[in-house]
Amino acid sequence: MVTLDGQTGFHTGCSLERIEAIVRAFEETGDVTAADPDAVVDHGPGQTTFPTPELSGLRTGVREILDGCGWRRPTDPADHEAVGGFVDPDPDAVIDLGGTLDGRGWRDLCHDAPLADTWESVRSAAGDPVVVVNAHGNAADTLLLESAPFEALDGAVALADAVGAERVIVYASADDERAVQTVRDAAANYPDSPITVDVETGPAEYRAAEPSMAIESLEGNHRLEARIRPPDLDAVGLHGRPTLVHTPRTLAHLSVALREGEPAGTRVMTVTGDVADPVTVEVPASETLETVVDAAEMTGAFKAASVGGRFGGVTDDLTVGVKPDALAANDLGSEGVVRVLADDRCLVEFVGQRAQFAADENCGRCVPCREGTTQLAGLLRDVYDGGYDPEAIEELIDVMTTSSICAFGVQAGRPTRTALSAFESEFEAHADGRCPAGSCLEPLEA
Amino acid sequence: MSSEQQQAVDAPPLTEEIAPGTASDPPVGGDAPATVTVDGIEVSVEAGATLIDAVEAIEPAESVPALCHYGREEIGPRSECRTCMVETDEHGVVPACSFPAEDGMTVRTDATDAAQARDVNLDLVLSDHNLRCTTCGKNGRCELQDAAIDAEVEEPRYGVLDDRDEYEPIDDSSSFIQIDRNKCILCNRCVEACNDVQVEGVLRMEGSGQDTRIGFQSDAETMEDSTCVSCGHCATVCPTGSLVEKGIEDATTIPLPGFTQTNSVGKTHENTGKTKGPMTPKKRTEDSSDERSLTDGGDRSAGTKTETETSHADGDDWGDASERGGEWP
Ligand code: SF4
Ligand code: SF4
Ligand code: SF4
Ligand code: FES
């Protein structure tokens, strides 16, 4: 992106050499269009929001929450202030807005639930509350920390102030180094506030994002396992204090709602899998999965989508809306990650890998998840030997879902459960010794 | 917040040194005395009670094994076996051993989903259990055996652990206590007895997934090399034949000549003959106290990125990390 005096040129998919050439061309000519950009947008000088070009991945949807990404300087508070950020809201106004917002993603303590009641209970609880920003493991959350950290921090600080917390802790994966560094810099530049903001990292393991394991990690436990609940973290959390755990997406929605006076009503979604480049887009909540999937360029013909993160639901129906209730009605997840699968993908193999991943990566605490995921992977392997027993698989997944301690085990069976209903014939074909996609049986027989 | 909870908040950790590897669970139990209805029968319980107290007070419609529940000496609830699931009108299917008894709740033990969950979970426990009762020191006084008999388990859905290659060696190295991890149900009672009751800080929970096991905070490999003071409390609370006092590990076995507990598994850590040193437990090696970037108490140094398996955490999303599922098939 080259920008000067209200005109911006966009270059996509640049190598380092290409970037050097673009910079050289601009230095020589002073013209943002000198190096033949893929798109040019004319906008007024002093533009505070992203000037969206007609380019794949960027033209889709709207930009309320992701507005600052790629445009405002991530760690410069002046840029955030220029769009009306750092409002110093009345605590009651924050709580009221919480009634119109819900928690984004399974890593949020209030996943898909309105926020106001939980905020109110934390505000009135005895003990010093803490606000934890859980940025561990979701692409959109990492993007927000890297590109617009003040949206998350502004929301977190406003919330801390509203519930009487003196401390905000940003928690991210130790692997997301750039996000961690950027949010650290942003926190250091944060305008004077009585609320301290710390940034901590946890192990780069999938389960470490589960809210109670995030708290265990912040407490310094050398081994991460989930806590039993109730009471949940909002009553007894970090070092026993009332603790709110929200994702950067949730808090960015708060930050935007505070300055705009009303919620954005959008969903931030990431498309990944068999695509040329993964993209994170923001769409109105009235949109369908189709709009989201269309934002990315697929590398093959569409076969299925796994909707809702690592343990999402598998579907071939993209007419489903992106609202959590529409997704839930179709047994799909609302984590905001859609993985598209091209037609050379085998669904039995795909869900088998998810089940094995769950067996390898669970914390080991509860029987339905620790032993259930192992047995699930075994039942799926049995399919290859002709031992396809859908009732046994469904019974096991039901029990994992109703009796696991945390969201990991509750969700771990979802890929298999949904694939069984949407792609039953593939399982039957495997039981007959045939892989319709041709991807997983040959190597076995070889 | 109840005063009990308040205390938990304000009290400093018992000793900084003890690192049992388990989560700091919140205090569970109802805030006030409560009357609940279990299978149509009204039961009154005291403040601090969980639903299992109400279930145990009556003759429930169906058997509720509640395998990992102990309910004494402030041990538990670990709430890991999930063989105590019951249905409530108010909160759906919940674990009775750790769900607070709230006034007015309606509980059923014979609801389909709850009964199925108890059943399947008991079978899942057995799927990872070396079910050789005839050579087991707890034969006839074992809570898992009792639960399986009560639940009329005939043929566990998922079989039992009978692949000898997968057995962990029996730790027969101590003169006081034998450990057979192939019979461990990971109820954590021993770890709590050791850390919270005796305050010895010897045992811990370690690993994750299928590698989850009881181990030693000193990183010792065997009981003999651990800082165990041989108080025997762990063996007293153990529900199964996993921790058994030496001398009785064969006490209840069927006397088949040559067939014993240790050769039922075939691999054993024997006593090395080293004399045990004076009991000055060194809880852990210095550097194992701050392993923020580790979750399994391994030996990689603090704060640095782990060298293996670093990138699969980042949920499903970008680049190579996203491709990682489990090994398949
Ligand atoms: S559901 Fe899985 S990850 Fe969660 S507590 Fe149980 S074993 Fe651990
Ligand atoms: S611990 Fe021993 S007695 Fe109990 S079920 Fe296992 S083998 Fe049988
Ligand atoms: S050794 Fe016994 S008490 Fe300890 S966790 Fe295993 S089954 Fe429970
Ligand atoms: S007794 Fe409740 S989970 Fe084990």
Contact list, A224 vs chain B (CB under 8 Å): 208, 295
For residue B163, report the distance from its CA to the centre of ligand 1, in Å: 25
**For A218-244, what is the mean pLDDT?**
97
Residue pair A246/A133 in contact by the 8 Å Cβ criterion: yes
Q: Output B311 or A200, whichever has higher pLDDT.
A: A200
Q: Which of A251, A286, A325, A241 is nearest to A98 (CA)?
A: A251
Atom of ligand 2 nearest to the CA of B242: 1
B116/A235 CB distance under 8 A = no
Residues in chain B: 329
Domain boundaries, chain A: 2-47, 91-260, 266-342, 347-431
Question: Which has the closest alpha carbon to A282: A298, A273, A272, A295?
Answer: A295
pLDDT value at A352 more than 80: yes
| pLDDT in the model for residue A442 | 61
Instruction: Give the CATH number of domain B34-124.
Output: 3.10.20.740
**% of residues, chain B, pLDDT over 70:** 75
Residue A413's pLDDT is: 98
Measured in angstroms, how far is the CA atom of residue A98 from the centroid of ligand 2?
Answer: 52
Mean of pLDDT over chain B: 82
Angle formed by the axes of helices A116-124 and A149-163, nearest 10°? 50
What is the number of CB-based contacts under 8 A between chain A and chain B? 271
Taking 50 as the threshold, does the pLDDT of residue B296 lie above it? no
Lowest mean pLDDT among A65-74, A119-128, A193-202, B288-297: B288-297
Q: CA-to-CA distance for B325 and B114, rounded, in angstroms?
A: 31
Instruction: With CA atoms as reference, report the closest residue to B77 among B192, B159, B246.
Output: B192
**Cα–Cα dist B59/B109, whole Å:** 10
Band of pLDDT at residue A446, cut at 50, 70 and 90? very low
* A284 token code pair: 């109105």
pLDDT value of position B287? 40
Q: Note the CATH number of domain B131-270.
A: 3.30.70.20
**Over the stretch B120-162, which tens digit does the pLDDT of each residue have?**
999 999 999 999 999 999 999 999 999 999 999 999 999 999 8
- Cβ atoms of A174 and A202 closer than 8 Å: yes
Residue-wise DSSP of A214-278: HHHHHTT-SB--PPP-SS-TTTS-GGGS-EEEE-HHHHHHHHHHHHHSS---EEEEEEEESBSS-
Q: Is the pLDDT confidence value at A178 over 90? A: yes
- Cβ pair B295:A203 closer than 8 A: yes
pLDDT band per the 50, 70, 90 thresholds, residue B325: confident
Of A225, A239, A278, the CB nearest to B317: A278
pLDDT, position B166: 87
CATH class of A91-260: alpha beta
Question: Mean per-residue pLDDT for A232-251?
Answer: 98
Looking at chain A from residue 112 to 141, which residues have their Cβ under 8 Å from any Cβ of chain B? 125-127, 136-139
Higher-pLDDT residue of A330 and B290 is A330
**Atom of ligand 1 at shortest distance to CA of A410?**
1
Ligand 3 within 6 A of B203 CB?
Answer: no
Average pLDDT over residues A233-239: 97
B113 Cβ under 8 Å from any chain A Cβ:
yes
**Residue range(s) of every CATH 3.10.20.740 domain in chain B:** 34-124
Q: Do A206 and B85 touch (CB under 8 A)?
A: no
Take residue A72 and report the two structure tokens written for it.
């405002």
Q: How far is B104 from B98, CA to CA, in rounded Å?
A: 17
Which of the residue ranges A295-309, A351-365, A414-428, B255-269 would you say has the lowest mean pLDDT? Answer: B255-269
Determine whether the shortest distance from the Cβ of B190 to ligand 3 is under 6 A. Answer: yes
Cα angle: B110, vertex B111, B117; to 5 degrees = 95
A103: which DSSP letter? B
Q: How does residue B291 score in pLDDT terms, banded at 50, 70 and 90?
A: very low
Which of A209, A228, A367 lies nearest to residue B25, judging by beta carbons?
A228
User: Would the pLDDT of B181 be above 60?
Assistant: yes
The alpha carbon of A207 and the centre of ligand 1 are apart by a number of angstroms equal to 9
Domain A266-342 is found in CATH 3.10.20.600: yes
Residue whose CA lies nearest to ligand 3 atom number 7:
B184
What does pLDDT average to over chain A? Answer: 95
* Residue A346, pLDDT above cutoff 70: yes
Smallest CA-to-CA distance from A361 within A221, A160, A236, A226 is with: A226
Query: What pLDDT sits at residue B82?
Result: 98
What is this structure's pTM? 0.90
**C-beta atoms of A229 and B125 within 8 A:** no
DSSP conformation class of A321: B
Amino acid at B311: S
Coil/strand/helix, residue B42 = strand
- Cβ contact A347:A337 at 8 Å: no
Cα–Cα distance measured from residue A221 to residue A238, given in angstroms and rounded to the nearest whole number: 12
Could you tell me the CA-to-CA distances from A155 to A72, A89, A246, B62, B322 in Å, in that order? 17, 10, 10, 50, 29
Q: Per-residue pLDDT for B13 more than 70?
A: no
Residues B173 and B156: their CA atoms lie apart, in Å, by 32
Q: A73-91 burial, b if ≥16 CB within 10 A, otherwise e?
A: ebbebebbeebebbbebee
Q: Is the pLDDT of residue A330 over 60?
A: yes
Domain covering A347-431: architecture: Up-down Bundle (1.20)
A255-301, pLDDT tens digit by residue? 999 999 999 999 999 999 999 999 999 999 999 999 999 999 999 99
| Residue B255 pLDDT level (bands cut at 50, 70, 90) | low
Query: Long-range contacts of range B34-37, CB-CB < 8 Å, 24 or more positions apart?
Result: B34/B101, B34/B102, B34/B103, B34/B104, B34/B105, B35/B103, B35/B104, B36/B101, B36/B102, B36/B103, B36/B104, B36/B105, B36/B106, B36/B107, B37/B105, B37/B106, B37/B107
How many angstroms separate the CA of residue B260 from the nearest CA in chain A? 28
Token representation of residue A323 = 């609202």
Q: Considering only A280-289, A299-308, A435-444, B305-314, which range has the smallest mean pLDDT?
A: B305-314
Phi/psi of residue A253, nearest 5 degrees: -60, -40
B16 strand-pairing partners: none
CB half-sphere exposure, B87, CA atoms < 13 A = 15
Within chain B, all domains assigned CATH 3.30.70.20 are found at 131-270
Neighbours of A28 (CB within 10 A): 10
Minimum CA–CA partner of A312 in chain B: B316
> Hey, are the CB atoms on A364 and B208 less than 8 Å from each other?
yes
Which range (A265-274, A348-357, A434-443, B67-76) has the least confidence? A434-443
| Structure-block tokens of residue A438 | 């041709």
For an interface test with A, give the residue of B17, B124, B182, B309 to mutate (most A CBs within 10 A).
B124
Inform me whether the pLDDT recorded for A410 exceeds 50.
yes
pLDDT attached to residue B304:
35
* Best to test chain A binding among B64, B81, B97, B120 (most A CBs inside 10 Å): B120
- The verdict on the CB of residue B184 being under 6 Å from ligand 3 is yes
**A433 near B CB under 8 A:** no
pLDDT level of residue A441 (50, 70, 90 thresholds)? confident
Helix axes A177-188, A139-147, angle to 10 degrees: 40
